[in-house]
Amino acid sequence: MSFREKTELSMLAGGERRFNKRLPRINNGKTRLLPIASLYGGNASGKSNVFKAFKFIQYMVKHRPGIDEPIPVNPYRLDDESLQKPSSFELVFLVDETLYAYAFSATKTAIVSETLTEIKSNQTETLLFERTARAFDFTGLCKKSDFKGREKTLDEMGSKTRDNMLFLHRAADDNENFFKPLYDWFDKTLVLISPTDSFREDLRYKLWYETDSEHHKRLVSSLKELDTGIDNVAVRNVKEIQLEDIRKGSDLLYRTLNESHDLSVELNTEVQLKKTSNSFQANRLITHHNNHAGEPIEFKIREESDGTQRLFELLPVLLMIKNHVVFIDEIDNSLHASLTETLIRNYLYESHQDVRHQLIFTTHDLSLMDQSLFRRDELWVTERDATGASSLTSFSEYVGITPSTNLRKFYRLGRLGGVPKL
């Protein structure tokens, strides 16, 4: 997209010692990580394109493409040379205290390269597999106990991997146990939320429907604390459909639904279809506001403000995430500045060296640009140069910023970049 040169967003902590106790530790405590990163920048500077890069990687790992289906890669288009080059991506991530570096390059027609590297606690690296076009080298994987004596299996999987498909997806699709935790990281651990996201079939939305759980009580308590006017969140059964009635209309649909032991689907922002023993129940999520007499009055979720609806999306993530990496594009969308700050402070309050969760977000909210809240290496800025190419820079790279520096003033004066040139 707007990134022409190699760009790195690093969650490794720098030499700064502030807020040291909240930094997660890996490699037996030798490596310090950042629990949070905030990305600033003017409109069209590239903030959301960082988010879209994560989105594209996740899509490619999870997606099973059709034959000759084009790869939806979007290269930098403002010079002819870049337009002809493949786009390259790499993520270094943690699975069960083991670090992996996964990288691939792609054009619109094919995966050009793909590698998976295991990084040991002593920083030694083992290349597990390497792909160059249609050629595969599985030397590293063959030394793993999972694949000893199974070289032919790997070769067969490689030969069945289409040009437009990642091998990581192919291996997970073939139920290879070694690759399942890696695939699950992209599928479940990496949580990406755009400004327009609404409820989907996902655990974090189901928490609102579990009205007897401690999670639900905490979510409702947070809604009250954030001055939404909501006194409670409840579930109302609005329709029940008997399985036998479905059978009369479609025997195939009946068999499919009847064989699904635990089916629960969020149809939209406020309705859940849940299977019971012999029927399906359509449950609606509702809120209660007390009237002047203290009596509860029901409201539908769509009748709440845009900001409150955004909280229904964000609260399960920010309050309940455990061992997740969450990237939120425009976290302050529809939210008051004080409310956004409270959400972030609550998240950071529960961050410490033994946690395994991280939060990355983009924002325009300058009130968050505060060194009482963030370390300098947790603040980033995107900027577009005269050629239209984006760059990403950590505040820790700027000379002259001290713990007492007024960052908002520096930013407004353009000394940190990321300000529209009007």
What the block records as the tokens of 95 is: 């699975």
Handedness of CA 243, 248, 253, 254 (dihedral sign): positive
Q: Considering the chain, what percentage of its residues have pLDDT values greater than 70?
A: 86
Q: Considering the chain, what percentage of its residues have pLDDT values greater than 90?
A: 55
Calculate mean pLDDT across residues 323-327.
91
The span from the CA of 6 to the CA of 339, in Å, is 35
Residue 259 has a pLDDT of 57
pLDDT band at 121; cut points 50, 70, 90: confident
Whether the Cβ atoms of residue 76 and residue 1 lie closer than 8 Å to each other: yes
Residue 188, C-beta contacts closer than 8 angstroms, at least 6 positions apart: none
Supply the DSSP string of 266-334, one letter for each residue: E-SSSEEEEE-SSEEEEEEEEEEEE-TTS-EEEEEGGGS-HHHHHHHHHHHHHHH-SS-EEEETTTTTT
Beta-strand runs (E) in 108-159: 111-119, 125-132, 135-137
The span from the CA of 394 to the CA of 381, in Å, is 6
| Per-residue pLDDT reduced to its tens digit, 175-233 | 999 999 999 999 999 999 988 765 444 556 678 888 888 888 999 999 999 999 999 99
* pLDDT score of 406 more than 80: yes
* pLDDT score of 416 more than 90: no
pLDDT band at 409; cut points 50, 70, 90: confident
What the block records as the tokens of 252 is: 């195939």
* pLDDT score of 420 more than 90: no
* Count of CB atoms situated within 10 Å of the CB of 407: 21
Over the Cα atoms of the chain, what is R_g? 24
* pLDDT score of 252 more than 90: no
The span from the CA of 375 to the CA of 394, in Å, is 10
What the block records as the tokens of 253 is: 């649909």
pLDDT band at 89; cut points 50, 70, 90: very high
Handedness of CA 273, 275, 281, 284 (dihedral sign): negative
Q: In this structure, which amino acid lies at residue 123?
A: Q
* pLDDT score of 301 more than 90: no
* pLDDT score of 30 more than 70: yes
What the block records as the tokens of 11 is: 């969650």
The span from the CA of 422 to the CA of 410, in Å, is 17
> What distance lies between CA 391 and its chain's CA centroid?
21
Cα distances from 225 to residues 231, 252, 307, 331, 396, in angstroms, run: 10, 48, 14, 19, 34
Three-class SS of residue 221? helix
Residue 310 has a pLDDT of 87
What the block records as the tokens of 161 is: 């991997």
| Whether this model's pTM surpasses 0.85 | yes
The DSSP element (H or E) to which 106 belongs, if any, is strand 98-106
Calculate mean pLDDT across residues 46-55.
95
Supply the DSSP string of 148-196, one letter for each residue: TT-HHHHHHHHHHS-TTS-HHHHHHHTT-TTTHHHHHIIIIIEEEE-TT
- Average pLDDT along the chain: 86
| Per-residue pLDDT reduced to its tens digit, 374-404 | 999 999 999 999 899 999 999 999 888 888 8
pLDDT band at 319; cut points 50, 70, 90: confident
Whether the Cβ atoms of residue 275 and residue 262 lie closer than 8 Å to each other: yes
The span from the CA of 232 to the CA of 216, in Å, is 10
Cross-strand pairs, 359? 36, 326
| Per-residue pLDDT reduced to its tens digit, 263-297 | 444 444 566 666 666 666 777 889 999 999 999 99
Residue 260 has a pLDDT of 54
* pLDDT score of 7 more than 60: yes
Cross-strand pairs, 265? 273
For residues 256 and 312, the model is more confident at 312
